[in-house]
Chain A
Amino acid sequence: MSADTDVEVLRRQGRIVVVGASLAGLRAAETLRDQGFTGSLTMIGDEPYEPYDRPPLSKQALLGRARPEDTALPRRRDIDAEWRLGVAAAGLDRDAKLVRLANGDTVPYDRLLIATGTRARPWFHPEEAALDGVFVLRTRDDSARLHRKLAGAVSRVLVIGAGFTGSEVASACRELGLDVTVAERGPAPLVGALGGVIGAVADRLQRKKGVDLRCGISVTALEGDEVGRLRRAHLSDGSAIDVDVAVVSLGAMRNTEWLAGSGVAAGPRGIACDAGCRVFDVNGIVTDDIYAAGDVARSPHPLFDYQFLALEHWGNAVEQAEIAAHNMICAGPDRRPHLWLPMFWSSQFGVNIKSVGVPSLGDQLVVAQGALAEERFVAVYGYRGRVIAAASFDGAKWLGFYEQQIAAGAPFPPEYRTVDRRTETLHPIDPAFPDPHLPTHGATVTLTGHSPSERRVAFVPAHA
């Protein structure tokens, strides 16, 4: 079956392959069946487990209030799929329309959904990363291992990186009564996501809860003892601390390596797709049989200057999977755009942190409700005179309102009256995002061919 042939035949007897058996993959499969797809459905996942929920892994699971193996996701419906779990996809052959698996098997498809997500960025030094006591946190197994370790005799935990995951780990450790040092290269925790103004609040919160927080510091080396157990960490200010656990929380890497050479626009920043989740090839031509959803996808969003947004958000995985699944088995005019407003949550140090929109685009900020000093507020971010994002600390019930404001392009600073409004904080200030000068790992692209008919784009592989 070629790409644009009879949609009805596809819906009845097509072969759909979903690579990635986590939240996005599962919800896509359910949507396909919901919308009447009766062909064959194959779910491929590199982990040996049924789709499970990751957010509890850095919260309930570390606190011992849920077991990591109990986080399997509930099902909305039967999906009648063939599952290939515990084997990773290793390659994509677009000409033969098949996925190659790590065990040598091939799986043919008429439509392919790529939802391979991300993995934890490992510690940069492989020998140090292999020390007993050095952890990352992304999978069920990671969480189980870390929880077991934290339940034993631990003198001090080092958390490397104070993004959301790192901060949640630090919070759980403090709740377990463990001594924690957090080393963050930036000026404050959460600064990349929420800026320095809100980062300063997170900073106070961590210190108040007893975290030994060190900002503007990076970890230069992890040192083991003679039997390979972590014993010390060396910091960029020349100091060293004795630790027996280090949790590397340096963000995520997108699982796109298996697509190398396939000709789809996949790289370290994700897989580029259009607003309908159709994947681009490296020439910028949209494919019609390959779709992407979830953490691994990046697609243009009209509310944010049509920037290609890659969102590592739970809600995005669900929504984009539903859109991708719908579009996979629809004719052109029935397809829908993925226009989800970015949204996420984190709970740490007893505070519920939520955000809607894209705070890091903000050039101004006001505290529209509550007060930073009380660690209970809603901060609204503006971008060129309109509302672009909002973030709340224990103020979740107000965010729906700001979601509408962002969608409607409401003017910034907000002119309306709000509940719990404090006049002293209504003057817009710079939200203090770090300069975007950090080294990028983006793909380098070159143009090849001399005549217009030969002209093609080629990726230059990145050197780590």
Chain B
Amino acid sequence: MPTTVWTERRRLRSLRDRGPRRERVQMRLVVDLNRCQGFAQCVFLAPDVFSLHGGEALLFSPRFDEAQQDRVEKAAAACPVQAILVDYSDEPTKGVKPHVG
């Protein structure tokens, strides 16, 4: 079976190292729900970000703030199927036109 680069453990970008320019820093998150098997380790480790909906379906907040970072890192590391991808880059989106309307 082909594997994806998702299995690679990636260094999370550090929010703490950043300068004081940004007041309210948020990070993005996505769970590969094809991989997710409902072990729910993330739900125990970061209950404000991950929750079970019914017996097995996972709901997650796609955005979380600094206060949750340690917990989310632990959750991503503890996921038995490594289904949690957390932001690795905060590169600005060059050339984005402002949204009007």
Contacts and interface: CB of A to CB of B under 8 A. Distances in A.
Interface string A79-93: 111111111000000
A80 B93 CA distance: 8
A314 B2 contact: no
A315 interface: yes
B5 A75 contact: no
Contact of A322 (B5, B34, B53, B86): B5
Contacts of B87: 74-75
Contact of B5 (A34, A49, A65, A80): A34
A403 B91 CA distance: 37
A75 B54 contact: no
A56 B61 CA distance: 9
Contacts of A78: 89, 91
Interface string A181-197: 00000000000000000
B96 A350 contact: no
B88 A77 contact: yes
Contacts of B19: none
A56 B1 CA distance: 27
B30 A74 contact: yes
A339 interface: yes
Interface string B57-70: 11111110000000
Interface residues of B, number: 44
B76 to A, nearest CB: 10
Contacts of A53: 30, 62
Nearest to A346: B57
Nearest to A349: B54
Given A74-B29, A76-B85, A85-B97, A394 B62 contact: no
B30 A347 contact: no
B9 interface: no
B8 to A, nearest CB: 9
Contacts of A344: 34
Contact of A74 (B55, B86, B96): B86
Interface in B24-38: 26-30, 32-34, 36-38
A318 B28 contact: no
Given A34-B5, A72-B28, A319-B4, A79 B99 contact: no
Interface in A299-343: 314-315, 318-319, 322-323, 336, 339-341, 343
Interface in A335-378: 336, 339-341, 343-345, 347, 349-352, 354, 376
A15 to B, nearest CB: 15
A376 B59 CA distance: 19
Interface in A1-50: 31, 34, 48-50
A387 to B, nearest CB: 15
A151 interface: no
Contacts of B93: 50, 83, 85
Which residue of A34, A63, A85 has the most chain B CB atoms within 10 A of its CB atom?
A85
Interface string A56-72: 10011001011100111
Nearest to B53: A347
Nearest to A72: B28
A142 to B, nearest CB: 15
A79 B94 CA distance: 10
Contact of B96 (A65, A85, A351): A85
Contacts of B63: 66-67, 70-72
Interface of B: 1-2, 4-6, 10, 26-30, 32-34, 36-39, 53-63, 85-91, 93-100
Given A34-B5, A65-B61, A85-B97, 11 more contacts: A60-B59, A65-B59, A76-B10, A77-B89, A79-B91, A85-B96, A341-B1, A345-B36, A347-B57, A349-B54, A354-B34
Interface of A: 31, 34, 48-50, 53, 55-56, 59-60, 63, 65-67, 70-87, 314-315, 318-319, 322-323, 336, 339-341, 343-345, 347, 349-352, 354, 376, 394, 396-397, 399-400, 403-404, 407
